[in-house]
Chains A and B, each alone.
Chain A
Amino acid sequence: MNDLIIQKPLPIADGDSQAFWDGLKIGQLLLQHCADCGHVQYYQQRICRQCQSENLQHKAASGRGTVHSYSVVYRAPGPAFKQDVPYAVLLIDLEEGPRMISSLVGKDFDVLDFDVPVQLETIKITDDVYLPCFHVVNK
């Protein structure tokens, strides 16, 4: 097996998403707010998915959300993730409205449940890539 096989897929920013990945490097999860129709969207693109306006503003999310659904992965999707299993993939409903895919920080799966509150935690992967992950907020 060669290096290609153990390397995790890393996001490669494009013209639509550069600001998003830059924001994560300073701890910000940027959402796009449409100044024309008020729609808030995740992920980044040049036009509003609701009204097609180009009048979009980046604003940092609060980082607060709840778990809409989740699944604990025991069989890795390829060799790159083998050392990580088990890990939990989450569908998070952000306080601002949008839903996103993320993963749980750590392996405390017992605290995972539908609708439990979670908080953003950016995780450094490389000097250029930070991923927006979440941990469960202890009540």
Chain B
Amino acid sequence: MPRSLRGKVAIVGVGQSPSGRVPSRSPLDLTADATLKALADAGMDKSEIDGVLTGNAFASSFHRFSIALSEYLNIQPAYSNTLQVSGATAGAAVNTAAAAIHAGLADTVLVACGDSLLTGMTPDMAIRAMTESRDQQYEMPFGIPVANTFAMTAQRHMKEYGTTAEQFAQVAVTFREHASRTPGAQKTEPITIEDVLNSKMVTTPYHKLDCSLISDGAVALILTSAEKAKDYTNDPIYILGGGEYYSHEHIFLMPDLTQTGAVQSAKKAYEMAGISANDIDVAGIYDCFTGTVVMMLEDLGFCKKGEGGAFVESGEITYGGKIPTNTHGGMLSYAHPGIPAAWFHFAEVVRQLRGSCGERQVIGAEHGLVHTLGAGFSTQATTVLGTESTL
């Protein structure tokens, strides 16, 4: 039997700060705010946290954000790290926290991240954020924003599979509909496919409304062992499987522009969970761009390669469809504070599995999936979650 995390660890607390435009609040403040709310959600005292994992914040000068956050909250953890695998950091942090708990390095781990990309960036910080993420020798001198790496994969997908700009736009339209039902969403006014196609071109084929937002905000999750989970909540949400894959650093060494490492990360996560894509009831999929979602629906196994555009167009990623996705509105409409963005996907899927989403509830959801990715599809992390009934 391969070693497995299935059912060993559960998420028992979820909290988030105000998000969207939240001026005059530092990334540490926002993250601490989310943490206190997660502790309250779990009915837990902070003295029980002995592990802290975070991502980094662009608008914070701390190199060791997890350590700075611990000090801010007056926690002295026995286990801590500040992870950096770009957009996949959320999934990697949840998987890693679960592994650390299962291995005995910590009992209860805070997995949190916050940033203030919208209102908290000085010009120097903005430059760092804009230019540091791609290689300074072989990529950045050509003026290649990270958006452009994703755009070139989308262009190729259009060429190889006939995917259309209208199909990409439908992703933005659907997630905006979802956001309109979500309290706290940054963008809630309805948009049409024409609105997306008529918005300013950013980098072909992506228009402004094909691109995710820029926001402030933080989310905190609290994970503990399955044995202890019931001490805190009647609705622990269990980690059923985790898988990651890191296929390249430079976009020009991506093995195939239209098939990503999400195939491998999802395969591992599904195998550990003992289920397939068909069993997933609700998904949180990293949506930095509309086309990213189309490609992930294929690579995560929700539809066949090349059919992602038609899948979206026929309503399969909303209520009543095959896989309701980003029911909070995602990074395209709910919030995108940078690295913390995908933490919101976890918060939403956990709430869906708890059955606490009110009018946006996916009825009867038991299995959830969160897929996070980053840096031009370099980094991929999949997590399968489930209710107690799935164990």
Contact = CB atoms under 8 A, between A and B. Distances in A.
Interface of A: 1-2, 4-5, 8-14, 17, 42-43, 68-78, 80-81, 84, 87, 89, 91, 98-103, 114, 125, 129, 131, 133
Contacts of A114: 156, 159
B159 A73 contact: no
A9 B130 CA distance: 11
B140 interface: yes
Contacts of A99: 252-253
A71 B137 CA distance: 20
Contact of A9 (B123, B124, B131, B156): B131
B283 to A, nearest CB: 27
A73 B141 CA distance: 14
A4 B152 CA distance: 29
Contacts of B140: 9
A53 to B, nearest CB: 18
A11 B142 CA distance: 10
A100 B253 CA distance: 8
Interface string B61-97: 0000000000000000000000000000000000000
A101 B137 contact: no
Contacts, number: 112
B98 interface: no
B246 to A, nearest CB: 15
Given A12-B137, A43-B250, A101-B250, A71 B143 contact: no
Nearest to B157: A69
A84 B141 CA distance: 12
B200 A9 contact: no
A11 B156 contact: no
Nearest to B140: A9
A89 B142 contact: yes
B202 interface: yes
Contacts of A70: 152, 155, 204
Given A75-B200, A77-B145, A43 B152 contact: no
A4 B143 contact: no
A127 to B, nearest CB: 15
A81 B143 CA distance: 7
Interface residues of B, number: 36
B147 interface: yes
A5 B123 CA distance: 8
Contacts of B159: 69, 114
B211 to A, nearest CB: 9
Contacts of B14: none
Given A87-B143, A91-B257, 18 more contacts: A9-B141, A10-B141, A12-B136, A17-B137, A43-B138, A69-B153, A72-B203, A73-B203, A74-B200, A75-B202, A77-B131, A89-B148, A91-B152, A100-B252, A101-B252, A125-B141, A129-B141, A131-B141
- Pick from A17, A102, A131 the residue with the most CB of B within 10 Å: A102
Given A77-B144, A100-B252, A71 B152 contact: yes
B51 to A, nearest CB: 36
B332 interface: no
List the 9 closest A-B pairs by CB distance, nearest first: A77-B145, A71-B151, A78-B130, A11-B137, A69-B152, A81-B143, A103-B142, A69-B156, A99-B252
Contacts of B130: 77-78
17 contacts: A9-B140, A12-B136, A12-B137, A43-B250, A69-B152, A69-B156, A71-B151, A71-B204, A74-B200, A74-B201, A77-B144, A91-B152, A91-B257, A99-B252, A103-B142, A125-B141, A133-B142
B1 interface: no
A75 B137 CA distance: 21
Given A8-B141, A9-B140, A81-B143, A101 B127 contact: no
